[in-house]
Amino acid sequence: MPGQVHTSLRYAIIGAGPSGLAAAKNLRAHGIQVQVFEQQADLGGVWNYRLPGGRVYASTHMISSKRCTQFPDFPMPQGWPPFPHHAQVLEYLKAYAEHFQLRPLIRFRTAVTRLEPAPGGDGWLVRLDDGSLGRFDGVVIANGHHRRPLWPEIPGTFTGVAFHSAYYKTPACFEGKRVLVVGGGNSGCDIAVEAAACARAVFHSTRRGYYYLPKFLFGIPIDRAGEWLHQLRLPLWARRHITRLLLWVAVGRLERYGLPRPDHKLFQSHPIINSQLLYAIGHGQVRPKPDVTHFEGPWVHFADGSRERVDVVVYATGYRLWFPFIDPEHLNIRDGRPWLWHHVFVPQWDNLFVAGMIQPDSGLFPLVHWQTQAIAWFVRRAAEGHPVAQRLRQWKKHVGPQYARGDFLPSQRHWIEVEHYGYGRTLQRLVRRLARGQ
């Protein structure tokens, strides 16, 4: 923890989800005054099931284990299961806010509608939905990246019921229906399995073949097993080889389930963690289908020439990065994506940051802890006029693909994908350099 410091700096934080809470805690620990703006009625972000901005469904559990997901300085209860339910995650976030006394810093039911540089470039003007305007020395954007659903453009007209997975809550809407789930991510796989329990028929459409990892391997959460391979400092090719061998033993060839063979290397796509989908496919409860080519009334046509009559279509097709309150050039947005140093630092601004705009292959919370530690240390060092702040200013001007992605497929889905272990170690090294002034 940093020593006792006091500054006159005042920062706005947009969002009171996990990233916003971590930013508030870490900035305040460096003596920076903080005001958090949250448009929902409570904290928790996507983990708050009962709020409009919640993106969890009734049965949601974490797909990363608690040990790999918890904040480094605030462990989850020992008695909780390895993969907690979303209600437990929300309870954990509320306990985090209570422990670090963050609630008094949050203005609920308050949306930021406009963010622009203050005259003279000294700070930022923050306009709220009640029309009021505030001036802050800096801003941390932590509004999340699960706000604006991404809808695929599919030719034709579908005459049944269609909705995005962002609005899915319970499988009651599938009772006795013929259901198509579009999308091969974790949500799409979960929803297909849930639909199989009550639907008349379930079809699952994916664009390509994927690797499906079980939640447990040798009785332990699979991400903890992956963590051991990282800690052994094994190169990527070795980790791929070992993991593929283990999957061959635990799962077998995916073609035997009627699934397409993956067209990419392991770890080049966001991992699908699901122990039930292959079981449901093997029992005929879920039928794999290729990409959708077009609709024709109640009929759905697929890339293999087949067609199916369906009543409900669920688009589990992800989300668009969305910052409606700020001009794109301020976030160095090119072709729809922000190009930021380490996904955090804006090259042209020293007082504007983004926290939590990453899609890791493991838990998010530890990474946003280190992201916001780095932000807090940089803001402090810049206020002190320390030479290390000037060095970071030079580093963050050189934003390139190496800071935007790793060895992932060149698709929009992977714009903000990070390999958690290497990314986390990079952030920790940065924090150490800022703390030591090196």
Residue 406's pLDDT band (boundaries 50, 70, 90)? low
What CATH number does the domain located at 10-148+319-436 have? 3.50.50.60
pLDDT tens, position by position, 154-195:
999 999 999 999 999 999 999 999 999 999 999 999 999 999
Q: What is the pLDDT of residue 414?
A: 81
Whole-angstrom CA distances from 385 to 117, 272, 350 are 22, 45, 13
- Roughly what angle, to the nearest 10 degrees, separates helices 365-384 and 420-436? 20
pTM over 0.85: yes
Fold match between domain 10-148+319-436 and domain 151-214+251-315: yes
Q: What is the pLDDT of residue 401?
A: 53
Closest CA to 21 of 44, 52, 3: 44
Q: What is the mean pLDDT of residues 271-296?
A: 96
The 3-state secondary structure of the chain reads CCCCCCCCCEEEEECCCHHHHHHHHHHHHCCCEEEEECCCCCCCHHHCCCCCCCCCCCCCECCCCHHHHCECCECCCCCCCCCCEHHHHHHHHHHHHHHCCCHHHEECCCCEEEEEECHHHCCEEEEECCCCEEEECEEEECCCCCCEECCCCCCCCECCEEEEHHHCCCHHHHCCCEEEEECCCHHHHHHHHHHHCCCCEEEEECCCECCEECCEECCEEHHHHHHHHHHCCCCHHHHHHHHHHHHHHHCCCHHHHCCCCECCCCCCCCCEECCCHHHHHHCCCCEEECCEEEEEECEEEECCCCEEECCEEEECCCEECCCCCECHHHHCEECCEECCECCCECCCCCCEEECCCCEECCCCHHHHHHHHHHHHHHHHHHHHCCHHHHHHHHHCCCCCHHHHCCCCCCCHHHCCEECHHHHHHHHHHHHHHHHHCC
Q: What is the mean pLDDT of residues 235-262?
A: 92
Cα separation, 294 vs 65, in Å, equals 38
pLDDT tens, position by position, 106-138:
999 999 999 999 998 789 999 999 999 999 999
Query: Does residue 279 have a pLDDT over 60?
Result: yes
Say which CATH topology domain 151-214+251-315 has. FAD/NAD(P)-binding domain (3.50.50)
Q: What is the pLDDT of residue 404?
A: 46
- Give, in degrees to the nearest 5, the angle at Cα 319 between 347 and 186: 115
Cα separation, 60 vs 67, in Å, equals 18
Residues 6+ apart with CB under 8 A from 125: 114, 115, 116, 117, 118, 133, 134, 135
Give the start-to-end residue ranges of the domains of the chain: 10-148+319-436, 151-214+251-315
Matching residue, tokens 């320390």? 386
Residue 6's pLDDT band (boundaries 50, 70, 90)? low
How many CB atoms lie under 10 A from the CB of residue 98? 10
Adjacent-strand bridge partners of 309? 299
Whole-angstrom CA distances from 187 to 41, 108, 158, 207 are 25, 28, 22, 15
Written as six digits, the tokens of 173 are: 């809407």
- Choose between 22 and 338: higher pLDDT: 22
Written as six digits, the tokens of 218 are: 């040798």
